[in-house]
Amino acid sequence: HKLFIGDQVLRINAESEEHIQLLKELEDDEGWELDFWTHPASTDLPVDIHVPFASLHAVKNFLQAHKIPFHVMINNLQELLDEEQEGVELNAMQERN
**Torsions phi, psi for 51 (to 5 deg):** -110, 120
Give the neighbor-by-neighbor strand order of the sheet with 70-74: 35-36, 47-51, 8-12, 70-74
Based on the shown chain and the rule CB under 8 A, indicate whether residue 4 belongs to the binding site for another protein.
Answer: yes
Q: Which of 7, 41, 40 is nearest to 26 (CA)?
A: 40
Q: Mask: binding to another protein, 77-96, rule CB under 8 A, as x and -?
A: x--xx-xx--xx--xx-xx-
Task: Write the binding mask 21 to 60 for another protein: x where contact by CB under 8 A, - elsewhere.
Answer: ---------x----xxxxx-xx-xxx-x-x----------
- Pairwise CA distance, residues 85 & 71, whole Å: 26
Contact set with another protein (CB under 8 A): 1-2, 4, 9, 11, 30, 35-39, 41-42, 44-46, 48, 50, 73-74, 77, 80-81, 83-84, 87-88, 91-92, 94-95
